[in-house]
Amino acid sequence: MTESILLQAIIYLAAGVIFVPLAKRLGLGSVLGYLLAGLVIGPAGLGLVGEEGGDIMHIAEFGVVIMLFLVGLELEPDLLWKMRTAILGLGGLQVVLTTLAVAGLAFLLGVPIQPAFAIGMILAMSSTAIVLQTLNEKDLMPSVAGQSTFAVLLFQDIAVIPILAILPLLATYPLPGDAAGAHEHSLLEGLPAWARMLAVLGAVAFVVVLGRYGMRPVFRVIARTGLREVFIASALLLVGGVAYLMELVGLSPALGAFVAGVVLANSEYKHELESDIDPFRGLLLGLFFIAVGASVNVGLIVSQPGLVAGLVLGSMALKALILAGLGKRFKLSTDQNLIFALALSQVGEFAFVLLSFCTQNGILEASMAGLLTAVVALSMALTPLVFLINERLLLPRIGTRSHPDRDTDTIEEKNPVLVVGFGRFGNIVGRFLRASGVGTTVLDFDSDRVDILRRIGLKVYYGDASRYDLLASAGAADAKLIIIALDTPEKSLALVETVRRHFPQLKILVRAYDRDDAYEFMDAGIEHVYRETLDSSLRMGVDAMRLLGTRAYHAERSARLFRRHDEAALAELAAVRTDRKQYFSTARRRIRELEQLISSDETDRWLREVEEGWDAETLRNEMNQMATSPTPPPPTP
Amino acid sequence: MSSILIQFAHPALEKSRVNQVMLRAIRDLPFVTINDLYEEYPDFDIDIDREQQLLLAHDYILLHHPMYWYSTPAMLKQWEDLTLEHGWAYGRQGVALTGKKLMNVMTIGGQREAYNEAGYNRYTVRQFLAPLEQTARLCKMTYLPPFAVHGTHRITEAGIQQAARQYRNLLIQLDAGLIDIPTVLDLPCINDIIPTDELTVNPAPQS
């Protein structure tokens, strides 16, 4: 193997670039793609990366750190406080029960009691990286399952601190000499317990104070330089520095980053930090997953397939069962509970950290740690598959997918207009109609939004409008119009189909995001298609012209002309858009025409207003001729 | 078979008691086309071609509007400005409207007595309409005396019904050619010669 880091990087990146799109194509999700890429380039596959994988793993773990920093940024302290029951109740019980159950089973299987407890705590962890990434990709974060999952992950991340504190007490084996690994930097070795505790508290306090009072002026100065890369560097430095500090005192670096994130959640630099660091998160997490894939000890798995498979499936089943029991106790509906339990059933990346800590501190034998590492990696690799199975096989049998646990509202009003989707577009239309005295029934299936809208006094109903029964109870049979402002054209088209089939009398007005959306709706034969950005962009254009000194009425007329022309062009282009060549030639012609219309003095519609209505050239000519001719002039206007 | 074009201009029809009833009374007449300008062009973006086609397709052009500040609502003026183009409606080659009849149908807040030299408004309704009369002349059209519904602020329900019936009768008689144009040209308003009781469509010519 080569020593060149560049070559290593190229191998990793190439593997990612090849496998992730493939996995996406196959509907497997990016995480599985990365893991596969790791397996292929790892020692078990092509062997392109070998022992060096460990180093990369170390760098890649930084991805997890950044992810938790970003998670922290998203969380305002109030939100944390609001979630305290879920975090402490759900998360706490999960960690305690799983630890006890796993430890009990391990003990029954002949593992001595102390290592059995260590194994219990290790297996209680789930993968923050995989689960959050997957939930985000599937848009499940706002659901009840997503929130519960998040609460448990949060508790686990926090629980790593006491676990790291407890583990040394479980040491039974002699230390394997000078331990090499993540914790070789720890300054606290050999210090008494109270000193360690003080150091840990001091470090956390330092991060909080730094975040709250120290970083703001620093960011301000850096932001003032206007150098974006310096800002990015300082953000990475902050995260890296905090992670390193945490590692020094033996805490989880990810947790430190998380705390730093929470502290900065209220700062004015929140969004800049987010957008600057986000690309690194994606890339490094990808690396992390590849490294996990590469580190799977295939030899071990092949030599003891039954044992490994049993441990993987057994631990996942056990975790899922405990989680499902808790979910039920915390009143999650069946489908939400299924997502929740299966999402967290794998063992997470913290287990790697804990395992290496355990071998270094003589808590677990190396062979046991190796076996468990394989189990952890495999269970992580299986997670996307578990999601897939849940989504394709289990959920369709149990209930509607990704539905927050909440009953559909019953609707008593009968109004002429239904507004479906009360997001940034629908809410303007809906409020306008309501303010104008037009009776509207609003439907939305973002339960958070429904609650917020209700709190500010708007009448909004919760429910999935693509369901016939909800449409019927919303009064679709008596309504005249339905305004569809859903997020995606797929959802909108599905709703259009339902409406057409069951309520043909409803006139359909649909919001399109852009041209491509509009084409799809026009293909579906909808007459009233509204591109959401058309009017506001033109308004901006008009204002720009006015700021440049154009007279207001002229600017307005130009915008009207453009709009009319653009709508006509849209219809024409929709018809030819499958033929790329014709599409582009038509588009070019349309643009040329429009420019000519606006700039030329030919007889187009609004220029006609100016040229003939209020300033007729022909009239002037005729008058001039009259003046020079001997006959008396006719009456003039 | 439409011979009468109603160029209707009212920016707030939903608030007008009289005009709503008047429109309803004539809506079903087969020879009438109602062109509601504020409905058609809420942004004042007048489709000149469409308007000219409408004018060409009818013999009688009735400008139906409330009297605002002794004149028409803004839309009607905008319509005149843009539709009556030089070389089309007037000027040496502007003969498109030759021979057509133009008439104002108006609702007016003040009583009829207020509109004369001794009255509150000092001029007659026809005097206020001089610009339109001259426009018609310039466009080689015949200008007919206005049909004016006076006192709309205080008009009774019965009065409105009567005005609406009379309006309907006016259109029926115009369409049937029952009004002898040359003899009415100088009337202060045409109301006086229109019956107020119900007429049927296309009545037999009176002997």
Any CB–CB contact under 8 A between A310 and chain B? no
- Report the run of H or E that residue A622 belongs to, with start and end: helix A617-628
Per-residue model confidence (pLDDT) at position A601: 45
Q: Give the closest of B46, B85, B138 to A635, CB-based.
A: B138
A-chain CB neighbours of B47 within 8 Å are: 605
Residue A53 has pLDDT above 60, yes or no: no
Q: Which one is predicted more confidently, A220 or A182?
A: A220
Q: Does the beta-carbon distance from B85 to A622 stay under 8 Å? A: no
Residues whose CB falls within 8 Å of the CB of residue A325, separated by 6 or more in sequence, listed in order: none
Any CB–CB contact under 8 A between A612 and chain B? yes
- This prediction has a pTM of 0.52
Q: Does the beta-carbon distance from B134 to A560 stay under 8 Å? A: no
pLDDT, average across residues A16-41: 80
> Which of A335-349, B40-54, B123-137 is the most confident on average?
B123-137
SS (H, E, C) A235-261: HHHHHHHHHHHHHHCCCCHHHHHHHHH
Phi, psi of A510 (to 5 degrees): -125, 140
Per-residue model confidence (pLDDT) at position A188: 63
Q: Does the beta-carbon distance from B138 to A608 stay under 8 Å? A: no
Residue A405 has pLDDT above 70, yes or no: no
Q: What percent of chain A has pLDDT over 90?
A: 13
Per-residue model confidence (pLDDT) at position A603: 41
Q: Does the beta-carbon distance from A622 to B82 stay under 8 Å? A: no
pLDDT tens string A568-578: 888 888 888 87
Q: Give the closest of B46, B82, B91 to A622, CB-based.
A: B91
B-chain CB neighbours of A618 within 8 Å are: 86-87, 91
Domains of chain A, earliest start first: 2-174+195-393 (1.20.1530.20), 417-605 (3.40.50.720)
Q: Which one is predicted more confidently, A401 or A631?
A: A631
Instruction: State the amino acid at position A235 in one-letter form.
Output: A
Any CB–CB contact under 8 A between A608 and chain B? yes
Any CB–CB contact under 8 A between A198 and chain B? no
Q: How far is A609 from chain B (nearest CA, A)?
A: 6
Per-residue model confidence (pLDDT) at position A413: 60
Q: What percent of chain B has pLDDT over 70?
A: 95
Packing angle, helices A30-41 and A270-295, rounded to 10:
40
Q: Which chain B residue shows the shortest CA-CA distance from A634?
A: B91
A-chain CB neighbours of B91 within 8 Å are: 618-619, 622
Complex confidence, ipTM: 0.74
B-chain CB neighbours of A614 within 8 Å are: 81
Residue B185 has pLDDT above 80, yes or no: yes
The Cα–Cα gap between B3 and A596 comes to 39
Q: Which one is predicted more confidently, B2 or B100?
A: B100
Query: In CATH, what number does B4-193 get?
Result: 3.40.50.360
The Cα–Cα gap between A139 and A129 comes to 15
B-chain CB neighbours of A637 within 8 Å are: 90, 135, 138
Any CB–CB contact under 8 A between A81 and chain B? no
Q: Classify the C-alpha dihedral A430-A432-A438-A439 as positive or negative.
A: positive
How does A589-615 read in b/e, with b if 16+ C-beta sit within 10 Å? Answer: ebeeebeebeeeeeebbbbbbebbbee
Per-residue model confidence (pLDDT) at position B85: 94
pLDDT, average across residues A418-446: 86
Pairs of CB atoms within 8 A across A/B = 42
Secondary structure (3-state) at A181: coil
The Cα–Cα gap between B173 and A180 comes to 109
Give the least confident one: A50-59, A65-74, A542-551: A50-59
Q: How far is B130 from chain A (nearest CA, A)?
A: 12
Q: Does the beta-carbon distance from B86 to A616 stay under 8 Å? A: yes
Per-residue model confidence (pLDDT) at position A68: 75
Secondary structure (3-state) at A413: coil
Per-residue model confidence (pLDDT) at position A608: 72
Phi, psi of A391 (to 5 degrees): -70, -40
Residue A184 has pLDDT above 60, yes or no: no
> What's A407's DSSP letter?
P
Per-residue model confidence (pLDDT) at position B74: 96
Q: Which chain A residue shows the shortest CA-CA distance from B79?
A: A613
Any CB–CB contact under 8 A between A605 and chain B? yes
Report whether B121 contacts B183 (CB < 8 A): no
Per-residue model confidence (pLDDT) at position A97: 93
Q: Which chain A residue shows the shortest CA-CA distance from B139?
A: A637
Q: Which one is predicted more confidently, A40 or A32?
A: A40
> Which of A55-64, A139-148, A221-230, B117-126 is the most confident on average?
B117-126
The pair of three-digit structure tokens given for residue A249, joined into one six-digit string = 């005192």
Q: How far is B47 from chain A (nearest CA, A)?
A: 7
Q: Give the closest of B48, B137, B138 to A608, CB-based.
A: B48
Domain ranges of chain B: 4-193
Per-residue model confidence (pLDDT) at position A631: 57
A-chain CB neighbours of B43 within 8 Å are: 560
The pLDDT confidence band at residue A181, using thresholds 50, 70 and 90, is very low
The Cα–Cα gap between B142 and A467 comes to 63
Q: Does the beta-carbon distance from B87 to A616 stay under 8 Å? A: yes
Tell me which residues of chain A, numbers 532 to 571, contact chain B at a CB-CB cutoff of 8 Å. Answer: 557, 560
The pLDDT confidence band at residue A490, using thresholds 50, 70 and 90, is confident
pLDDT, average across residues A453-476: 74
pLDDT, average across residues B23-34: 95
Residue A606 has pLDDT above 70, yes or no: no
SS (H, E, C) chain B: CCCEEEEECCCCHHHCHHHHHHHHHHCCCCCEEEEEHHHHCCCCCCCHHHHHHHHHCCCEEEEEEECECCECCHHHHHHHHHHCCECCCECCCCCCCCCCEEEEEEECCCCHHHCCCCCCCCCCHHHHCHHHHHHHHHCCCEECCCEEECCCCCCCHHHHHHHHHHHHHHHHHHHHCCCCHHHHCCCCCCHHHCCCCCCCCCCCCCC
Q: Give the closest of B47, B48, B91 to A619, CB-based.
A: B91
The pair of three-digit structure tokens given for residue A434, joined into one six-digit string = 């309501």
Packing angle, helices A349-360 and A53-74, rounded to 10:
120
A-chain CB neighbours of B85 within 8 Å are: 608, 612-613, 616
Q: Give the closest of B43, B85, B138 to A560, CB-based.
A: B43
Q: Does the beta-carbon distance from B45 to A606 stay under 8 Å? A: yes
> What's A465's DSSP letter?
T
Give the least confident one: A542-556, A580-594, B172-186: A580-594
Residue A613 has pLDDT above 90, yes or no: no
The residues on B that touch A, with CB distances below 8 Å, are: 43, 45-48, 81-82, 85-87, 90-92, 134-135, 137-138
- ∠ CA(A318), CA(A320), CA(A321), 5° rounding? 65
The pLDDT confidence band at residue A407, using thresholds 50, 70 and 90, is low
Phi, psi of A484 (to 5 degrees): -105, 120
Q: Which chain A residue shows the shortest CA-CA distance from B91?
A: A619
Q: Does the beta-carbon distance from B81 to A613 stay under 8 Å? A: yes
Q: Which chain B residue shows the shortest CA-CA distance from A560?
A: B45
**Of B199, B102, B118, B105, which is closest to residue B152 (Cα–Cα)?**
B105
Q: Count CB atoms within 10 A of the CB of residue A560.
A: 17
pLDDT, average across residues A364-380: 84
Q: Which one is predicted more confidently, B171 or A524?
A: B171
> What's A143's DSSP letter?
S
The Cα–Cα gap between A250 and A190 comes to 12
Q: Give the closest of B43, B47, B82 to A613, CB-based.
A: B82
Per-residue model confidence (pLDDT) at position A57: 65
A-chain CB neighbours of B138 within 8 Å are: 635-637
Report whether A498 contacts A466 (CB < 8 A): yes
The Cα–Cα gap between A191 and A193 comes to 6
Distance from the Cα of residue A183 to its chain's centroid: 33
Per-residue model confidence (pLDDT) at position B69: 94
Give the least confident one: A191-200, A326-335, B83-92: A191-200
Report whether A380 contacts A349 (CB < 8 A): yes
Per-residue model confidence (pLDDT) at position A9: 79
Q: In A177-282, where do the E strands start and end?
A: none
Q: Give the closest of A560, A605, A619 to B86, CB-based.
A: A619
Residue B191 has pLDDT above 50, yes or no: yes
Per-residue model confidence (pLDDT) at position B148: 97
B-chain CB neighbours of A619 within 8 Å are: 86-87, 91
Q: Give the closest of B45, B81, B90 to A614, CB-based.
A: B81
Residues whose CB falls within 8 Å of the CB of residue A151, separated by 6 or more in sequence, listed in order: A83, A86, A87, A90, A91
pLDDT tens string B89-113: 999 999 999 999 999 999 999 999 9
Q: Which one is predicted more confidently, A33 or B122?
A: B122
> Which of A182-196, A598-612, B98-112 is the most confident on average?
B98-112
Measuring CA to CA, how many Å separate B115 from each of B111, B129, B191? 7, 12, 15
Q: Does the beta-carbon distance from B138 to A619 stay under 8 Å? A: no
Measuring CA to CA, how many Å separate A352 from each of A58, A107, A168, A241, A454? 11, 21, 16, 22, 46
Give the least confident one: A181-185, A221-225, A521-525: A181-185
Q: How far is B83 from chain A (nearest CA, A)?
A: 7
Residue A27 has pLDDT above 70, yes or no: no
Q: Which chain A residue shows the shortest CA-CA distance from B77?
A: A613
The pLDDT confidence band at residue B60, using thresholds 50, 70 and 90, is very high
pLDDT, average across residues A528-554: 89
The pLDDT confidence band at residue A366, using thresholds 50, 70 and 90, is confident
Residue A34 has pLDDT above 90, yes or no: no
Per-residue model confidence (pLDDT) at position A102: 93
